[in-house]
Amino acid sequence: MSGIVALLDRGRGGVDPDLKAMHERIDHRGPDGEGIWCDGPVGLGHQQLRSTPEAEHDDQPCRDGAVVVTGDIRLDNRATLLDALDVANGGKPIPDSRLVLAAYRRWGEACPDHLVGSFAFALWDSAAGRLLCARDCFGVKPLYYHSSPDTFAVGSEAKALLALPDVDRTLDERKVGDLLTGTFEDKERTYYRDIRRLPPAHAISVRSDGSRLWQYWDLDPTDSVTLGSDAAYERRFRELFEQAVRCRLRTDGTVGTALSGGLDSSSITVVARDLLSSADPLLTFSNVYDDAPTSDEREFVERVTERAGIDSRYVFMDEVGMLDDRESMGWHYDQPPHDTMHHAIWERMKRADEAGVNVVLEGALGDSATGYGLGLIPELLRTGRWGRLAAEIQAISERGGAPRHRVFLHHAVLPLVPPAVRRTYRRIRDEPVLAERKNPTLRPAFVDRVGLDEKLRERYATGSVLRETARRRQCRSLTFGTITASLETTDLVAAAFGVEPRYPFTDRRLVEFSLAMPPTQQLSEGWTRSIIRRSLADRLPEEIGTRVWKTDMSQGFWNSLAREDDRLERLVADPGPLEDFVDQDALRAAHERFAETQSTRDARALWRALSLSTWMKTWAHTSGQ
């Protein structure tokens, strides 16, 4: 992954010194070169990490007449674009940035509509006096921006924008509320009031006198595709999945995969191994635990890595705390890491870098992209297809070992109960609801101040349960803001080590097909995610293809958090600026409960407080400072 910056001075002044400061702030993203282009009130910068064969010939910022582009770009529909566009590069291989320039020449501001892949770019058209910025469909490549009457600036990381003198570090309390409750549906806010995120599948066009923001792509849960047989769906899914993996193998370096032993990462690994040349190594990196056996997946990992041509590397996590590389993490995390397993990603990327790997394939979005299909169960109940419902309930019960009445209640009835009714039931039982349920340490005044309870009510108000369908449920899971936040955090980690993460399950073509296929292809005979199990049955080890549920990572998380107990004790004794958000007595009580009987609710509350506190000491100002 590369890094980009762009700066437009709406007052028509020069940008050179400020642009250089932004550019230098992300120089860790450019181990293979850098470049700056300035012209009066506008400037673009690029920090290059070469991760494709064509990148050797990619001299960014790239100029073609009046148009200049800087981008972190990997396009998957290169053949289609090359056929449609007139692109010349002096007989040299054509880098993806050149294709973006040509696409803009052909389609103007509509060019993002025609791009398939992972990208974030800023393009200046001096003839139109316009800066166009765009981000890929699922937000694999991040893009942050600052807009004021005098300045518009963008960067691959928020820290680039913080180099500008007029960007304030005062934190956004609403975003803090998102962190402390683990709700990330807002895809625009950042932890800084003066910085926003360009949401996935969005573009923004900026001139000296204003700007226009729009969404150029979206999923449609009413779309459908009908094929002649189960075998036809399996063939098409396999074709699209292989295409998604193949596109992400485009590199002249060494490829690795993040292998957990689950269905997603195992599918990527076995397909990647088959697609690579036998002379090319495939390294796998797996987080493992001796002291947390319920979080250890070696028995499944080994079923995959026993295949020829796979070089397996274990990353042992037992001696790793949540913030062991605190100094380095403190610089690279210009936002507090929310992920309870962020340190596992950090250690994995570190090992990949040490092994000389420059591209790691990850399984993120796999659950949603292939679909569990469980949304079919309440749909069958609601639409009166009770024979099929009874058969699936019976099959799920047999597969997972849960009683039929529990399966029926949990998967058929509860999804049809409105959220307000569930909250009333919990109140009657004297159980916490809304923000208190999410985090027992929150200060009530903070909850009221930022409207956390109301925000949570809106989040769970998904519309009438009578109009709910399996496809709508899957569509929501594909566009959760938590996915965006996790991709952004992983980007910061990967950039710290000069490794590019790639995600086959974010392939737009694969996702569109999966959402449009009948839900009965996703849940069949009690098998969730049936389509990927069937499509890759000849490649996946049987132990993987017949796994029913994921491994619970709680024990591994708890152990790593317990290794931070000295820091937690200091935080509990003196929360400092966190007292604006959390109640000290409630924080202490959560710490005491966690020490006595570990639970995920208390562990998450403690981790979020520790993460926020550590980040604030490096990056943020409170509203009172």
For the chain, give percent helix, strand, coil, nearest 5: 50, 15, 35
**Around Cβ 49, how many Cβ atoms within 10 Å?**
21
The SS3 of residue 529 is coil
DSSP 409: I
DSSP 292: -
Alpha-carbon distances of 623 from 161, 169, 180, 193, 577, rounded to whole Å? 19, 9, 17, 10, 10
Residue 264 annotated as part of some ligand binding site: no
Report how far residue 601's alpha carbon sits from residue 351's, in angstroms, rounded to the nearest whole number. 31
Q: Closest Cα partner for 351 from 252, 476, 215, 259?
A: 259
The SS3 of residue 395 is helix
- Here the tokens at position 310 are 């796979």
Report how far residue 299's alpha carbon sits from residue 543's, in angstroms, rounded to the nearest whole number. 9
Which residues is 213 bridged to in the sheet?
204
Report how far residue 229's alpha carbon sits from residue 248's, in angstroms, rounded to the nearest whole number. 29
Q: Residue 495: enclosing H or E segment and its boundaries?
A: helix 481-497
Pairing state between β 357-361 and 254-258: parallel
Per the CB < 8 A criterion, the answer to whether 202 and 215 are in contact is: yes
Q: In this structure, which long-range contacts are made by residues 397-404, counting pairs with CB atoms below 8 Å and at least 24 apart in sequence?
A: 397/526, 398/526, 399/526, 399/527, 399/548, 400/548, 400/549
Report how far residue 610's alpha carbon sits from residue 218's, in angstroms, rounded to the nearest whole number. 36
Alpha-carbon distances of 171 from 37, 121, 519, rounded to whole Å? 31, 26, 43
Which residues is 500 bridged to in the sheet?
359
DSSP 551: P
Report how far residue 562's alpha carbon sits from residue 595's, in angstroms, rounded to the nearest whole number. 8
CA angle in degrees (0–180, nearest 5) for 108-114-115: 110
What residue numbers does the annotated binding site cover?
96
What residue numbers does the annotated binding site for L-glutamine cover?
96
